[in-house]
């Protein structure tokens, strides 16, 4: 009888929301969403077996489904992998829309997307793990590990540290030699080419976003451990955290039967385009692929719920602001309540005014990613013990606002 009452209550809730969706002419695949999110592989719940918790989860599942189905119907996106972590629980790790606009296969929680620059966040945490073990140090000089590296004169080169590489503060012009990364040169070969680049600032003085320079961090980690970055990430994080869909090479993703294909948008709408073999030479800059389920496990770890893998205080080092981001033309600086943005080690750190209490500040650990026409966003809210990740298989404008949009849904349902 108790189970029957719960089922009836749930059915009434679903019916009510469906009527609202119908009235607004929004299509929702509620049954598909409910089935997918009841998969025990996709939801980790510890000590949350309460009616209130389940009701909140159901409401959030339906709100998210409505949001993305509306975006799909409007032609804003083709498909999305979405994960939300609240406390020690993975509340959502699901998919919406199609893997390929030409087909019928749906995105689900284990559909793999290319992550692009979300890869930088993995690199920062890996470096922190090695630093904790005394293998490397933030103040290590790059030339101690890559003697052939030069940027400017000898005095300038000697000042460049690992911390500068991971924070985009080497003084290198914006996106220097990203073309060499995309052309497939090895990181070791790219390292030798910086002798031809003229610095625009002293090391540590200015933020200037990089791919090629950032990728030198994987060469430093190779020299110090004798293991390539793929092996280090797999053994230290992906295997212990059960991130089973992760890949870091073109062969793996190109042969995956559950992959979201990239899309480009033209006058006649979206069209799928080929997967490209780019950035797998510079894994830490943009060469990691994963599903929404694996990104949920990653965020749960970042929030400190896997201390057996790495202590929360050790991970926190990458989220300490290293350099202020003072330009004011970025999409995240237009999110309501924005106060200040900085960069740590592979992560952006934002400060926002709390909409409920202007005297309080909210911290967001954030990064965007774009590669091969994929467009992704990850944001972790440490004070709220909340993580949100959205993976899109098309370069959509929705990415600019999807984080505050979803956070507002979570706040409304969880009441804080």
Q: What is the pLDDT of residues 201-228, one digit of tens each?
A: 999 999 999 999 999 999 999 999 999 9
CATH number of the domain encompassing residue 363: 3.40.710.10
pTM as predicted = 0.88
What pLDDT, on the 0 to 100 scale, is given for residue 367? 98
Residue 20 lies in a domain: yes
Residue 361 lies in a domain: yes
- The DSSP code sequence of 81-98 is EEEEEETTEEEEEEEEEB
H or E, element range at 371: strand 357-371
What pLDDT, on the 0 to 100 scale, is given for residue 329? 87
Q: Please give the share of the chain, as a percent, with pLDDT higher than 70.
A: 88
**pLDDT > 70? residue 12:** no
Q: Please give the share of the chain, as a percent, with pLDDT higher than 90.
A: 83
**pLDDT > 70? residue 293:** yes
pLDDT in tens, 302-333: 999 999 999 999 999 999 999 999 877 899 99
**pLDDT > 70? residue 9:** no
In angstroms, the Cα distances linking 340 to 109, 121, 350, 353, 363 are 33, 20, 6, 10, 10
**pLDDT > 50? residue 8:** no
Tell me the two tokens of residue 308: 């057996």
**pLDDT > 80? residue 30:** no
Residue 298 lies in a domain: yes
What pLDDT, on the 0 to 100 scale, is given for residue 1? 42
Which of the 8 DSSP states describes residue 29?
A: -
What pLDDT, on the 0 to 100 scale, is given for residue 48? 53
CA distance linking residue 173 with residue 201, whole number of Å: 9
Total domains present in the chain: 1
Q: Are 405 and 152 a contacting pair, CB within 8 Å?
A: no
pLDDT band at 11 (very low <50, low <70, confident <90, very high): very low
Residue 86 lies in a domain: yes
CA distance linking residue 169 with residue 278, whole number of Å: 24
**pLDDT > 70? residue 179:** yes
Residue 189 lies in a domain: no
More confident position, 145 or 33: 145
Residue 367 lies in a domain: yes
What pLDDT, on the 0 to 100 scale, is given for residue 360? 87
- Average pLDDT score, the chain: 89
**pLDDT > 60? residue 262:** yes
Q: Which residues of 74-104 are buried (b: 16+ CB within 10 A; e: fewer)?
A: eebbbbbbbbbbbbbbbbbbbbbbbbbbeee
pLDDT band at 26 (very low <50, low <70, confident <90, very high): very low
- Per DSSP, the three-state class of 290 is strand
Range of the domain at 272: 2-122+231-414
Give strand ranges (E) for 202-293: 263-266, 269-272, 289-291
Residue 26 lies in a domain: yes
pLDDT band at 129 (very low <50, low <70, confident <90, very high): very high
Residue 52 lies in a domain: yes
């Amino acid at each position: 009888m108790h189970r029957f009452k719960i089922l009836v209550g749930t059915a009434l809730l679903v019916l009510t929301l469906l009527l609202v969706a119908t009235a607004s002419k929004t299509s929702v695949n509620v049954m598909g969403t409910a089935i997918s999110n009841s998969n025990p592989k996709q939801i980790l719940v510890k000590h949350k077996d309460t009616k209130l918790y389940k009701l909140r989860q159901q409401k959030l599942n339906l709100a998210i489904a409505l949001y993305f189905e509306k975006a799909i119907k409007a032609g804003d996106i083709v498909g999305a992998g979405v994960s939300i972590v609240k406390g020690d629980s993975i509340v959502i790790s699901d998919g919406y829309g199609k893997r390929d606009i030409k087909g019928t296969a749906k995105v689900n929680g284990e559909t793999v997307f290319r992550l692009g620059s979300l890869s930088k966040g993995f690199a920062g945490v890996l470096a922190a793990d090695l630093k904790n073990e005394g293998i490397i140090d933030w103040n290590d000089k790059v030339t101690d590990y890559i003697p052939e590296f030069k940027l400017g004169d000898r005095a300038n080169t000697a000042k460049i540290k690992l911390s500068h590489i991971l924070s985009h503060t080497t003084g290198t012009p914006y996106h220097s030699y990203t073309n060499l990364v995309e052309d497939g040169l090895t990181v070791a070969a790219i390292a030798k080419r910086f002798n031809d680049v003229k610095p625009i600032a002293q090391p540590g003085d200015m933020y200037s976003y990089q791919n090629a320079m950032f990728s030198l961090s994987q060469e430093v980690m190779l020299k110090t451990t004798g293991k390539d970055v793929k092996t280090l990430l797999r053994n230290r994080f992906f295997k212990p955290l059960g991130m089973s869909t992760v890949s870091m090479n073109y062969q793996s993703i190109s042969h995956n039967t559950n992959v979201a294909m990239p899309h480009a948008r033209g006058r006649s709408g979206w069209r799928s385009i080929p997967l490209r073999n780019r950035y797998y030479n510079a894994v830490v800059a943009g060469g990691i692929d994963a599903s929404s389920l694996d990104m949920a496990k990653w965020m749960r770890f970042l929030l400190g719920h896997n201390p057996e893998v790495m202590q929360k205080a050790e991970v926190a080092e990458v989220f300490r602001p290293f350099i202020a981001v003072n330009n004011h033309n970025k999409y995240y600086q237009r999110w309501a309540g924005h106060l200040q943005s900085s960069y740590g080690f592979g992560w952006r750190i934002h400060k926002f005014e709390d909409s409920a209490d202007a005297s309080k500040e909210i911290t967001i650990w954030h990064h965007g990613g774009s590669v091969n026409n994929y467009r992704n966003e990850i944001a972790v809210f440490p004070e709220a013990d909340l993580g949100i990740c959205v993976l899109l298989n098309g370069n959509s404008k929705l990415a600019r606002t999807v984080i505050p949009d979803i956070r507002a849904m979570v706040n409304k349902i969880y009441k804080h």
